[in-house]
Copies of this chain bind each other. A is one copy, B any other.
Amino acid sequence: MNQTMDVPAKRNTKQKDAVRHALSETTGFVSAQDLHLVLRNHGSTVGLATVYRALADLAASGEADSIQATSVAGTGETLFRACGQSHHHHLICTECGKTVEIAAATVEKWAEAIAAENGFTESSHTIEIYGRCASCTA
């Protein structure tokens, strides 16, 4: 093996757990800033940078999914959500943020096929569906 062991051992901290917990409480996607506010409002003294670091870790380990808030009139912030481990996509309400996880083998195959047809390898994809949920259609 040529793996120069230099990856710092991870530690469990109250802050990281607090972020994980706060994230699991929310139903839809949230920004790091919003989550930080929620935590502070609950008495936590966690720092903003720490929330960013914790979310980055969760996203890296697959415990959380992240998307870019592009919609309309946004500076494009990153939103996070605690999700199932298996590969899936999202149906998101642009009004209340309600999120439904979507898993469809057919589109996975489609995306894979499109890439292959054009000679692309190591393909990946980004697929999100937006709309206004029943509750918000009033």
Contact = CB atoms under 8 A, between A and B. Distances in A.
Contact of A91 (B76, B100, B102, B114): B114
A104 interface: yes
Contact of A125 (B70, B125, B128): B128
Interface stretch (A3-11, A21-29, A43-51, A130-138): A130-138
Interface stretch (A12-20, A30-38, A115-123): A115-123
A124 interface: yes
Copy total for this chain: 2
A102 B125 CA distance: 13
The interface residues of chain A, by DSSP majority, are classed as strand
B124 A131 contact: yes
Interface residues of A, number: 33
Nearest to A133: B120
Contacts of A115: 91, 129, 131
Contacts of A118: 91, 100, 133
Given A68-B70, A106-B110, A107-B110, A129 B125 contact: yes
Interface in A67-110: 68, 70, 76, 78, 91, 93, 100, 102, 104, 106-107, 110
A99 to B, nearest CB: 10
